[in-house]
Amino acid sequence: MTPLKHLPAWKALTAHHKSMRHFDMRNAFREDAQRFNRLSLRCGNLLLDYSKNRVTAETMELLKQLAVESGLPEYRDAMMRGERINFTENRAVLHTALRAPSRPPLRVEGVDIEAEVAKVLGRMQRFVESIHNGSWLGYTGRPIRDVVNIGIGGSDLGPAMVCAALDHYALESIRVHFVSNLDPAHLAITLKSLDPETTLFIVASKTFTTLETLANANSAKAWLLSALHAPAAVSRHFVALSTNAPAVQAFGIDPDNMFIFWDWVGGRYSLWSAIGLSIALLIGWGNFQALLAGAHAMDIHFREAPLDANMPVILGMLGIWYGNFWGTDTYGIFPYDQRLRLLVPFLQQLDMESNGKNVNRDNKQVNYNTGPIVWGAPGTNGQHAFFELVHQGTRLIPTDFLVAAVNPTPLADQHEWLLANCLAQTEALLKGKSRAVIEAELIAQGMSREAARALAPHKVFPGNRPSNTLLYQKLDPHTLGMLIALYEHKVFVQGVIWQINSFDQWGVELGKQLAPPIRAALSSVRVIGEHDGSTLGLIADIRRRRGLST
Ligand code: G6Q
């Protein structure tokens, strides 16, 4: 494999970046009335405006060449064909197959993937409908009112984010809750207002070995049994979503109440699989299908649109441009949409767990930066918190702003103000405000020339700061599906360019192995295991507080 920095396009981009150091987007807009038209793109009802970036036609051409030289189209097709591109775990990566209508059939290594998927979707649909129409009842004969999804990471963040985003599609008869944290407070606070007779627990765990999930599921089972006093109640109040049937059975969940998925579905890509059961229970089967259809529409766009008119490719390549040539470390995501308040944590996992890697496909350490630190919060809240640093700080921060043209909650003119604020922020990032203008304003307000000169530098906004805007009609299931798939593919694009495996997560696995010896050391007769001085000190302090010898 040619090292990334040896690719002709990489070298050309390095030289091009030098010539772009003093590029000013404000001049670019003045000189080119068509800049918005040239640097914006539509897919369905999504509009991506990427004209407020430090790019020219030449930049975009070179980035496209880099994508071609990196073999992006070939890797994309290999993923969608079901090749084992997750080479460190020897697995295919087929989340796109979860949202593809059943034709044409996809056979991977002799297995009819679409038939497998359709079988599980059919079971999920029947289950969801039986909860909604009241044919599935709790152990004492009462209908299910509350659903608690117990899972963590990929088995929590996706469905929790979608349920929050599509709350305006929620059926009135159902409430959905999410419990993930090992801290018993999470489960206890959630259960406080619930009635065991009308509560269904979904234990969501791909491996069914995850400490947090099993601990919460065991506590939930104890809570149920202490109220209903009948082991048979478990089969009416617990279902499992997993790839590990024996472990589900060992936990005491009826195999008939298990919805399977497969090792080719990565945790952070799993909301489209059985892991989406809580979503379907909240918004109904038709809306869940619309979510899948939206993602499928983005898959088709990603597979078929030319690279220079391909949304995930453009977003991905812009991220490379800033991260690897301008030296940015972080990426800000600002949804001007309260319903998308969990999008940032979801994207943090999607992006940072996928591309937070330092070894390439040749098993060598890379000599360039890979995944950025992803952060953000919904607008307008962010404006009153950290936007100061985005506008006036010393760092360059690429950003995505997301906003709907129409709000499903029409309260007075609040949405108009929301939209106006979103556009105003990206305009301010672009235009900035010069010292001369500020001084003139201060003097016009009656300030002395000298005082104005002293204060003005503090009020200067340098401008020329980049942003993408993603504008959609309104947040409906189809649009949300498109948005999520857009970011999934953006992350994929970047992983291919960086020559890393975006689909393993050894860092997560390590976390799962570290705690048991420390857990034992906290309460055993003697401290066992090898620990560093700091950890030993902390263990000793905890033991002292418990009256144990140190
Ligand atoms: C996701 C990660 C990780 C995983 C959780 C939960 O891609 O692998 O976040 O989803 O650790 O794992 P289980 O679903 O196996 O409980």
Does ligand 1 come within 6 angstroms of the Cβ of 353?
yes
Round to whole Å and give the CA distance between 297 and 356.
28
Position 104 scores a pLDDT of 67
Mutate to test the pocket of ligand 1, among 178, 244, 258, 508 (most ligand atoms within 8 A of CB): 508
- How many contiguous H segments (helices) and E segments (strands) does the chain have? 23, 13
Position 510 scores a pLDDT of 84
51, 417, 479, 480, 550 from 411: Cα distances, Å? 31, 11, 22, 22, 61
Angle at 268 between CA 497 and CA 400, to 5 degrees: 60
Residue 235 burial by Cβ neighbours in a 10 Å radius (0-12, 13-18, 19+): middle
Position 524 scores a pLDDT of 79
Residue 85 burial by Cβ neighbours in a 10 Å radius (0-12, 13-18, 19+): buried
Round to whole Å and give the CA distance between 297 and 130.
29
545 CA from centroid of ligand 1 (Å): 34
Round to whole Å and give the CA distance between 292 and 97.
10
Rg (C-alpha) for the chain, rounded Å, is: 26
Nearest ligand 1 atom to alpha carbon 154? 10
157 CA from centroid of ligand 1 (Å): 10
Position 517 scores a pLDDT of 85
Query: Six-digit token pair at 30?
Result: 């003045």
Mutate to test the pocket of ligand 1, among 93, 152, 179 (most ligand atoms within 8 A of CB): 152
416-423 CB contacts, 8 Å cutoff, 24+ apart: 418/336, 418/379, 418/380, 419/336, 421/336, 421/379, 421/380, 421/383, 422/334, 422/336, 422/379, 422/469, 423/469
Active site residues: 353, 384, 512
Longest dimension (CA), the chain: 82
Please report the sign of the dihedral spanned by the C-alpha atoms of residue 477, residue 480, residue 482, residue 484: negative
Position 360 scores a pLDDT of 97
Does ligand 1 come within 6 angstroms of the Cβ of 113?
no
> What global pTM score does this model have?
0.96
The DSSP 8-state label assigned to residue 95 in this structure reads G
Position 305 scores a pLDDT of 98
Please report the sign of the dihedral spanned by the C-alpha atoms of residue 146, residue 348, residue 505, residue 301: positive
Mutate to test the pocket of ligand 1, among 179, 206, 213, 269 (most ligand atoms within 8 A of CB): 206
Exposure letters 482-498 (e unless 16+ CB within 10 A, then b): bbbbbbbbbbbbbbbbb
Query: Six-digit token pair at 399?
Result: 């950003």
Please, what are the averages of pLDDT over each run of 10 residues along the chain (550 residues)? 97 98 98 98 98 98 98 97 96 95 77 91 97 98 98 98 98 97 98 98 96 97 97 96 95 93 96 98 98 98 98 98 98 98 98 98 98 97 95 97 93 93 98 97 97 97 98 98 98 98 92 84 77 91 88
222 CA from centroid of ligand 1 (Å): 24
Nearest-CA residue for atom 10 of ligand 1: 154
Exposure letters 433-444 (e unless 16+ CB within 10 A, then b): beeeebbeebee
Position 516 scores a pLDDT of 84
Position 527 scores a pLDDT of 66
341 CA from centroid of ligand 1 (Å): 21
79 CA from centroid of ligand 1 (Å): 21
